[in-house]
Amino acid sequence: MKLYFIRHAQSGNNAIFDATGTEHGRSEDPELSGLGLEQAEYLGQYFANNTDPLEKNQRITHLYCSTMTRAIQTALEVGQGIGLTPIIWEDWHEIGGIWLEQNGKQVGQAGKNRTQLEARFPSIDFSQYKHDTGWWSRETENNCTPRATRAWAGLLERHGGTKDQVAIVSHGHFYAHIMGQALGIEVGTGKSWFTLNNTAITRIDLCENDHNSTEIHYANRLVHLPLEKIS
């Protein structure tokens, strides 16, 4: 199996933090920014053109994304490029999740329910989405390891030992924890960490006859973006 872990394009919250260094004015579930929409288009064109010299045999067979708006929007561009419908996979959402600041505290919000998401994104596959009243579980970074473990185990269960080429549009902080799962190391404050830019791609190859044999083919690859579009 080959895994292409893709971070979503720049969100409105990313743009606010890049401009101000604060979370003031953030949305609990932001849309892509203007720059983010451009980045997503470049990403979709990259997969559609399939001319990367490092990826001569690239043929994405499965496309997943998290429940968050910014990931869905990005995945739609990828899906358009490769002719696949993105499938929602809740376990790959961002750490910290759906929240707003109230009286100086992060207060979790429910997140969009299935009816809202299907109305907003009718071309997404929600067959694996089970929540009619919102999905956010109020998880923090300190207790996200069980979900990262579950997400990695689920990936191996679905695609391990195959020749599948799986793309998942997910998130920057969760990426570090997935890299920890792939490499068998601890990540977090004071430990190892992995950085991923908006729409950057990391390819992880799992040996077909041994799920525990892992090769990081490349990480944080941004060949599809002009320099001035990197964030």
Give the Cα separation of 34 and 160 in Å (integer). 37
List, run by run, the mean pLDDT of 10-residue segments along the chain (231 residues). Answer: 97 90 84 98 96 90 96 98 96 86 79 87 89 70 86 95 96 95 87 94 83 86 98 97
- Does the domain at 2-229 match CATH 3.40.50.920? Answer given as no
Dihedral sign, CA of 43, 27, 197, 162? negative
Using one digit for the tens of pLDDT, what is the confidence trace for 22-69?
A: 778 788 899 999 999 999 999 999 999 988 989 988 899 999 999 999
Name the strands in the sheet holding 2-7, side by side, starting at the edge strand that comes first in the sequence.
87-88, 62-65, 165-170, 2-7, 201-206, 214-221
Q: What's 125's DSSP letter? A: B
Give the Cα separation of 117 and 126 in Å (integer). 9
Q: Which two tokens stand for residue 69?
A: 């708006």
Comparing CA positions, the residue from 155, 218, 175 lying closest to residue 1 is 155
Whether the Cβ atoms of residue 3 and residue 178 lie closer than 8 Å to each other: no
